[in-house]
Amino acid sequence: MDRFDRIYSLHSVLQAARYPVPRRRIEEKLECKRVTVSRIVNYMRNFLGAPIAYDREANGYYYDHRAGEHPYELPGLWFNAHELQALATLSQLIGDLQPGLLEEQLRPFQKRIEEMLADKQFGNGRLKQGIRLLGMGVRDGGEAFQQVAEGVLQSKQLSFEYRSRGKDEASQRTVSPQRLVHYRDNWHLDAWCHLRNDLRNFSIDRIKNIRILDTPAQQVDKQTLDDYFADAYGIFAGKGDKTAVLRFTPFRARWVAEERWHPRQEGRFLADGSYELQIPYGHAQELIMDILKYGPDVEVIEPEELRRAVQARLSEALGVYKVK
């Protein structure tokens, strides 16, 4: 443990303590001897302005908060090695999730973290090489992403042209943005749509000609958002008023049993080793796509309308491969 970590550790110990901390405990925490503890204490007092006091009866140190109006904090940016590693990893993840996302704002922060890691001889420049993110079906959020993010954070209404992927029809929308959602490698916007007078989810890559308005956004409470967007299966919003019952073959059973498809899912193993999964859903579109990827290893037991919809898609796929 170097001086940097010892200063941070001593600060953490004294900050959390309600009574003087015995010097022996500090020696153990800082992994050093008495003389080093004294040196660290003097450095913090003289150069960092730490109000460290000594209690002779308890033979321990404490922060004398009477010396100031507020609890003492270390000046500047102080992190231990593990926190630096976590911050650097988070910074890298944010950059990879959306190229250009907060790039200008994060660059000085990333540089400072890299300098700290280098100073501590930690990481050896392996941050970028040590993290690999693989995207599947990633769509470019384009220039709209930054403005959508601004609208969310500043709570300002947004005006844009939206072309839905399902109907491929363009419409002009004015929305009150509520939150950004990163789902299956792509970004979406949960918002109150003033055209539909209801909550809607917008795929950010389908947003064009966006403007941030001066009008304050209409706020929707978190519980209402969660009830609307998280009740049913997948990204498609609405009430989960139907329940899909899926039966997976014994071959797939153990793997599916470990997966989380929905917070309110219910599953059980059957006598033959197969696995039955029940999922609430509203719109079937996304659920059907996920069912199809399991091919012959899953069967829709109910409802009948979902079973027929999956059967129809499989028949259409089979028709593509018929030998002519």
Residue 151 lies in a domain: yes
Between 108 and 321, name the one with better pLDDT. Answer: 321
Q: Which domain holds residue 248?
A: 242-320
Q: Does some domain include residue 73?
A: no
Instruction: Label each residue of the chain as H, E or C.
Output: CCHHHHHHHHHHHHHHCCCCEEHHHHHHHHCCCHHHHHHHHHHHHHHCCCCEEEECCCCEEEECHHHCCCCCCCCCCCCCHHHHHHHHHHHHHHHHHCCCCCHHHHHHHHHHHHHHHHHCCCCCCCHHHHCCCCCCCCCCCCCHHHHHHHHHHHCEEEEEEEECCCCCCEEEEEEEEEEEEEECCEEEEEEEECCCCEEEEEEHHHEEEEEEEEEECCCCCHHHHHHHHCCCCCCCCCCCCEEEEEEECHHHHHHHHCCCCCCCCEEEECCCCCEEEEEEECCCHHHHHHHHCCHHHEEEEECHHHHHHHHHHHHHHHHHCCCC
For residues 36-59, average pLDDT: 91
Residues 159 and 212 reside in one and the same domain: yes
Give domain status of residue 60, yes or no.
Answer: yes
pLDDT tens digits, 228-249: 877 677 766 567 789 999 999 9
Residues 253, 316, single domain; the answer is: yes
Helix axes 34-47, 3-16, angle to 10 degrees: 80
pLDDT of residue 144: 87
Kindly state whether residues 149 and 121 are assigned to the same domain.
no
pLDDT for 111-145, tens place per residue?
A: 666 666 666 555 555 555 666 666 666 666 667 88
Confirm whether 139 is domain-assigned.
no
* CATH number of the domain bearing residue 205: 2.30.30
Assigned domain for 20 exists: yes
Note whether residue 226 is domain-resident: no
Q: Are residues 264 and 304 in the same domain?
A: yes
Looking at per-residue confidence, does 92 or 4 come out higher? 4
The pLDDT of residue 107 is above 70: no
pTM for the whole structure: 0.61
Q: What is the mean pLDDT of residues 175-182?
A: 92
Regarding whether 310 and 251 lie in a shared domain, the answer is yes
Q: Is residue 75 part of a domain?
A: no
Same domain, 92 and 158: no
Question: 180 and 249: one domain?
Answer: no
Domain match, 55 and 8 both: yes
Q: pLDDT higher for 266 or 324? A: 266
Same domain flag for 59 and 8: yes
Q: Supply the CATH number for residue 54's domain.
A: 1.10.10.10
Token reading at 43: 């450095």
Number of domains forming the structure of the chain? 4
| Percentage of the residues of the chain whose pLDDT score is greater than 90 | 48
260-277 pLDDT tens trace: 898 889 999 999 999 999
Residue 91: the pLDDT is: 65
Q: Let me know whether 95 and 150 are in one domain.
A: no
Q: 49 and 101 in one domain?
A: no
